[in-house]
């Protein structure tokens, strides 16, 4: 019945329109999802239809939590107003402590639509292969209450752990404006900066023990080139603090360099794999019939000041990727580009999203002796089942980066798009 209901909803919607190897840690998160039930509960059109499945409202969920040799249970439930959360910590001696979670100003706590989806209220992050023996981390996400506030990120998060048998929230100190180590030490002593109320991203991961980072932010500079900004969040377990820093990511910092290059590669290749370059005018298009006349393709004018022809686009992609990768992108990509009356046009749409694949992690780095100017990054990628539960990892492919003297300073010679 639910599948039929979703089909009806979709129809309604459509009709309305370096010597040696270095290892990075394994990270495990508790994730589960029931997309169909959430969709029906949250969609206004669905709520107007009959036979909506009856579900028990969310009441609570209990997570297992490990700190060194100690095991705890953390029960998460909504507060009396259902605007915040109450965390209850139980230790091995059945002792209880509680902790109230109040959302940051302008944000709302996430409450699952039903008890069936209770496990999605929070995320427990386990560091499975770290020799540093970091404790489990509880991550709570918050969502922007009003889309009118464009200056704030859509989702943010806070991190919690257990310190000496009590739940503690990490205070976050933003040190990105620090210019040198001396100033950073002054700021981190709390003499020059106040803690901010959250981590200004939600989809964070751990690239190395004791640190989290978000996907590097890729910016288009005035000359059209791309720059990736790497921001990390370092845990200070002693003081229950997190220090936010802009991470140097040159070749002397190979791990972050790899993530930065990978982000740039993904930024470019998405326009051939996932979505087209920007289109502003959807009223006008050019219809190109197939050779046998049985079908047509519809092309729209690209609105991107960097490119006016296919040749310009190809030359731009060729600055970052080796020729064989460029050829593959232009020949086999679902997002096709062509020159029409002297201007660049594209097919509008997306290439689909593979929901069974998740984040890509760098696991090892090496510099081949035969090619010392190349760094090879080995990766793994999260694998999910139909219920969107992570079942393990698959080979994420290799990213090979050749260091060059020209702009942008590297050439990607091997790459696998993460959604493929």
Position 214 in a domain: yes
| Residue 40 shares a structural domain with residue 125 | yes
| Residue 306 shares a structural domain with residue 219 | no
Number of domains in the chain: 2
Position 376 in a domain: no
How deeply is 337 buried, as exposed, middle or buried, from its count of CB atoms within 10 A (0-12, 13-18, 19+)? buried
Q: Which ranges of the chain have pLDDT less than 50?
A: 1-49
Give first-to-last CA distance, the chain, whole Å: 32
| Residue 171 shares a structural domain with residue 314 | no
Report the distance separating Cα 87 and Cα 99, nearest Å: 5
| Residue at which a domain ends, from 325, 347, 369 | 347
This prediction has a pTM of: 0.79
E strand intervals along 284-373: 286-289, 296-301, 337-340, 343-347, 357-366
Q: Which letter does DSSP use for residue 372 in this model? A: T
Position 198 in a domain: yes
Q: Two tokens at 21?
A: 């190897």
| Residue 208 shares a structural domain with residue 341 | no
Position 268 in a domain: no
| Residue 192 shares a structural domain with residue 72 | yes
Q: Two tokens at 376?
A: 């090879």
Of residues 402, 405, 317, 282, the one with CA closest to residue 414: 402
Domain containing 185: what range?
A: 20-247
Of residues 274, 265, 253, 271, the one with CA closest to residue 226: 265
């Amino acid at each position: 019945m639910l599948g039929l209901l979703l089909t009806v909803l979709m129809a309604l919607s459509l009709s309305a329109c370096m010597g040696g190897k270095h290892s990075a840690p394994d990270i495990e998160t508790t994730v589960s999802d029931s997309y169909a039930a959430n969709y029906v509960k949250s969609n206004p059109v669905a709520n107007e239809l009959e036979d909506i499945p009856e579900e028990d409202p969310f009441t609570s969920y209990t997570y297992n939590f490990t700190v060194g040799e100690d095991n705890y249970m953390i029960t998460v439930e909504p507060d009396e107003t259902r605007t915040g959360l109450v965390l209850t910590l139980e230790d091995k001696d059945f002792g209880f402590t509680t902790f109230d979670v109040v959302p940051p100003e302008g944000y709302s706590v996430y409450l699952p639509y039903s008890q069936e989806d209770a496990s999605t209220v929070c995320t427990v992050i386990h560091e499975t292969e770290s020799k540093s023996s970091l404790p489990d981390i509880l991550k709570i996400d918050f969502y922007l209450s009003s889309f009118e506030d464009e200056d704030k990120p859509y989702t943010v998060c806070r991190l919690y752990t257990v310190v000496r048998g009590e739940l503690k929230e990490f205070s976050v100190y933003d040190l990105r404006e620090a210019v040198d180590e001396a100033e950073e030490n002054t700021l981190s002593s709390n003499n020059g900066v106040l803690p901010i109320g959250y981590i200004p991203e939600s989809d964070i991961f751990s690239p190395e023990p004791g640190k989290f980072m978000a996907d590097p932010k890729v910016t288009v500079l005035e000359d059209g080139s791309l720059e990736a900004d790497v921001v990390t969040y370092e845990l200070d377990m002693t003081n229950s603090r997190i220090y936010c820093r802009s991470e140097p990511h040159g070749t002397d910092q190979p791990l972050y360099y790899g993530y930065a290059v990978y982000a740039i590669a993904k930024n470019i290749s998405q326009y051939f794999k996932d979505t087209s370059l920007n289109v502003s005018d959807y009223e006008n298009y050019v219809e190109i019939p197939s050779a046998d006349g049985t079908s047509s393709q519809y092309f729209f004018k690209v609105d991107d000041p960097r490119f006016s022809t296919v040749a310009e686009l190809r030359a731009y992609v060729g600055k970052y990727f080796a020729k064989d990768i460029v050829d593959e992108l232009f020949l086999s990509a679902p997002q096709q580009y062509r020159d029409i009356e002297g201007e660049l046009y594209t097919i509008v749409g997306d290439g689909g999203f593979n929901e069974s694949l998740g984040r890509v992690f760098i696991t090892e780095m090496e510099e081949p002796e035969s090619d010392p100017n190349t760094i090879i990054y080995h990766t793994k990628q999260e694998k999910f089942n139909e219920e969107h539960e992570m079942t393990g990892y698959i080979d994420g492919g290799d990213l090979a980066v050749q260091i060059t003297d020209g702009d942008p300073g590297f050439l990607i010679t091997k790459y696998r798009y993460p959604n493929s």
